């Protein structure tokens, strides 16, 4: 099939040619055409376009590179191969956040004051103060966050991303220097897959070995735990509905739920729903929590922190009494 300039793939082809010819005006026109035609493109076009645009990212100048990465992310969300797109997106994200670290330092060294918001307008005064390259890094962070999270929704990407720790460290350095938390990207980089979890239920003295994957925050974990343990008739309580479980696994939307437990860590302190599973302490190589009765009735709209990420929590086995007692011995008393 032949695609003209007025089709999505035709615009992709025109953009490729302009970028490789270093034709800035042609690239700008083709990129605008990408946006104009994207609404009518089918999934097959997005699947083809994603890897082509990702491969082009190193040749795109730093300013518009992040905007192209966002389009790559949209292609992945429509079915493009995330593994084929991720490497170039993350390379750009690392460069962007590394530049933002230096931007924050340069800003402090040149007089300090309140940093501009990453979605503010980039002005000549800011460029004069920090330099063009560092300013571009700062002002494209939210785009890199969007594109990176689109990649991280894919489990295979999360499991094969070799320098996840490096990118997370850069994001955290920017957050510390600027007060801007980049919560979505931070949480996405902390998502655990095939992660063993030991859960102890204090009132019944029982223990359970589970395995979790793709869970974005502890609200989602809390609901899934109640579904597996209360819904599975292992511990007493009010089980979440099938719909509540579904929206925490792979169904779109949010529905009201009520907390079944208080999550307590190995140190006896509360594990807050607002955190994520990576916050749970590791004891003898395994993340370990105790379920206590909720101190008060608490409800929230349950669902997935990352709507594009499938969550899973599987009960692998019920622990025997002796093994359960051994785990309880490793727990500090609840701090109340």
**Residue tagged 């993340």 (tokens):** 287
SS (H, E, C) 62-82: HHHHHHHHHHHHHHHHCCCCH
* pLDDT score at 198: 98
Tens digits of residue pLDDT in 42-71 = 999 999 999 999 999 999 998 899 999 999
Domain ranges of the chain: 42-190, 195-328
pLDDT in tens, 263-309: 999 999 999 999 999 999 999 999 999 999 998 889 999 999 999 99
The 10s digit of each residue's pLDDT in 12-28 is 999 999 999 999 999 99
Largest Cα–Cα separation, the chain: 72
User: Residue 3: what pLDDT?
Assistant: 44
pLDDT at 2: 40
Q: What is d(CA 328, CA 326) in angstroms, rounded to the nearest whole number?
A: 5
Q: In the structure encoding, which two tokens stand for residue 93, read together?
A: 């994200």
Q: What integer pLDDT is reported at residue 162 of this predicted model?
A: 82
For the chain, list residues with pLDDT below 70.
1-5, 336
Task: For residue 59, give the DSSP letter.
Answer: G
State residue 119's pLDDT score: 87
């Amino acid at each position: 099939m032949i695609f003209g300039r007025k089709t999505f793939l035709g615009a992709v082809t025109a953009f490729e040619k302009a970028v490789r010819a270093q034709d800035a005006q042609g690239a700008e026109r083709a990129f605008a055409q990408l946006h104009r035609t994207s609404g009518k493109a089918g999934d097959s076009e997005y699947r083809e376009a994603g890897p082509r645009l990702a491969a082009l990212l190193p040749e795109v100048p730093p300013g518009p590179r992040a905007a192209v990465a966002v389009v790559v992310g949209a292609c992945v969300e429509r079915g493009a191969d995330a593994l084929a797109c991720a490497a170039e997106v993350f390379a750009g994200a690392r460069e962007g956040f590394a530049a933002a670290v230096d931007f924050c330092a340069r800003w402090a060294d040149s007089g300090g004051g309140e940093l501009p918001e990453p979605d503010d307008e980039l002005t000549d005064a800011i460029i004069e103060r920090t330099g063009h390259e560092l300013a571009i890094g700062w002002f494209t962070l939210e785009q890199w966050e969007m594109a990176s999270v689109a990649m991280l929704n894919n489990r295979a990407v999360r499991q094969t991303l070799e320098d996840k720790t490096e990118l997370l460290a850069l994001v955290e350095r920017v957050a510390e220097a600027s007060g801007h938390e980049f919560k979505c990207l931070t949480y996405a980089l902390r998502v655990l897959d095939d992660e063993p979890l030991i859960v102890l239920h204090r009132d019944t003295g029982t223990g359970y070995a589970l395995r979790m994957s793709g869970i974005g925050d502890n609200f989602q974990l809390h609901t899934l735990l109640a579904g597996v343990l209360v819904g599975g008739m292992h511990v007493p309580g009010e089980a979440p509905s099938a719909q509540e479980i579904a929206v925490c696994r792979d169904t779109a939307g949010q529905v009201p739920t009520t907390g079944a437990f208080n999550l307590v860590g190995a140190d006896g302190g509360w594990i807050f729903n607002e955190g994520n599973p990576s916050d749970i302490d590791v004891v003898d190589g395994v993340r370990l929590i105790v379920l206590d009765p909720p101190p008060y009735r608490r409800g929230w709209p349950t669902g997935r922190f990352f709507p594009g990420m499938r969550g899973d929590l599987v009960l692998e086995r019920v622990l025997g009494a002796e093994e359960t007692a051994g785990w309880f011995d490793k727990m500090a008393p609840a701090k109340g």
